[in-house]
Amino acid sequence: MSREVWIIPTGTANVASIVAGLSRAGARACLSENPREIEAAPFAVLPGVGAFGAAMERLGSNGLGAVVVSRIRSGAPTLCVCLGLQLLFEASEESPAVRGLGVVQGTVGRFSGNVRVPQFGWNKVEPDSECRLIAPGHAYFANSYRVTSVPGGFAAAFADHGGRFVAAFERGGLLACQFHPELSGELGIALIRRWIDACG
């Protein structure tokens, strides 16, 4: 039987690719802006493709930002993808005047040096030994901003693009990926399955 995974709309996400990825992983995707439904959801995904400020404005206007924070602090299974990972932090250089969700400490920075920005394409992901969900391999990235240090208390994986950055991190029911698991072939779909199985 498929499991229901609720998608949290940010107004900046490619929802179709998330829905397709969840389907390939054996889950049934549901979409809602109702805070009560998201709060009670057995699984939730915070996706995002676009601007930090616009996504935070949307989450604030519909009350879902507080629900995401509550879910993560309670350990409820939550998958954050690309911009969704960045929204967990206190701030981003992309929108300096906008506060993030503040679930983890730190500021998201722009790629520096002589590298292509945004980073589009496949990159090697290398998890540390404490990761139970994230596996090594190549994943698909599409990002101009990144986090360089691991939030305290999390297991993490890394990639390199003009220097090492955090490709993903995990703890309990939270899995946050800077890459797009739904676009990363079998590596990404297997990761979604492991997240659902481990938290189910």
pLDDT in tens, 77-117: 999 999 999 999 999 999 999 999 999 999 999 999 899 99
Of the pLDDT bands very low, low, confident and very high (cuts 50, 70, 90), residue 151 is confident
Residues taking part in catalysis: 82, 180, 182
Evaluate if residue 169 carries a pLDDT over 90. Answer: yes
More confident residue, 151 or 24: 24
Count structural domains, the chain.
Answer: 1
Q: What is the pTM of this model?
A: 0.96
pLDDT at 2: 55
Evaluate if residue 1 carries a pLDDT over 50. Answer: no
Evaluate if residue 69 carries a pLDDT over 70. Answer: yes
% of the chain at pLDDT higher than 70? 98
Evaluate if residue 119 carries a pLDDT over 90. Answer: yes
Rounded to the nearest angstrom, the gap between the alpha carbon of residue 41 and the centroid of all alpha carbons in its chain is: 17
Evaluate if residue 149 carries a pLDDT over 70. Answer: yes
Supply the CATH number for residue 14's domain. 3.40.50.880
pLDDT at 53: 96
pLDDT at 14: 76
- Look up the domain containing 57 and give its range: 3-199
**What is the average pLDDT across 139-144?**
97
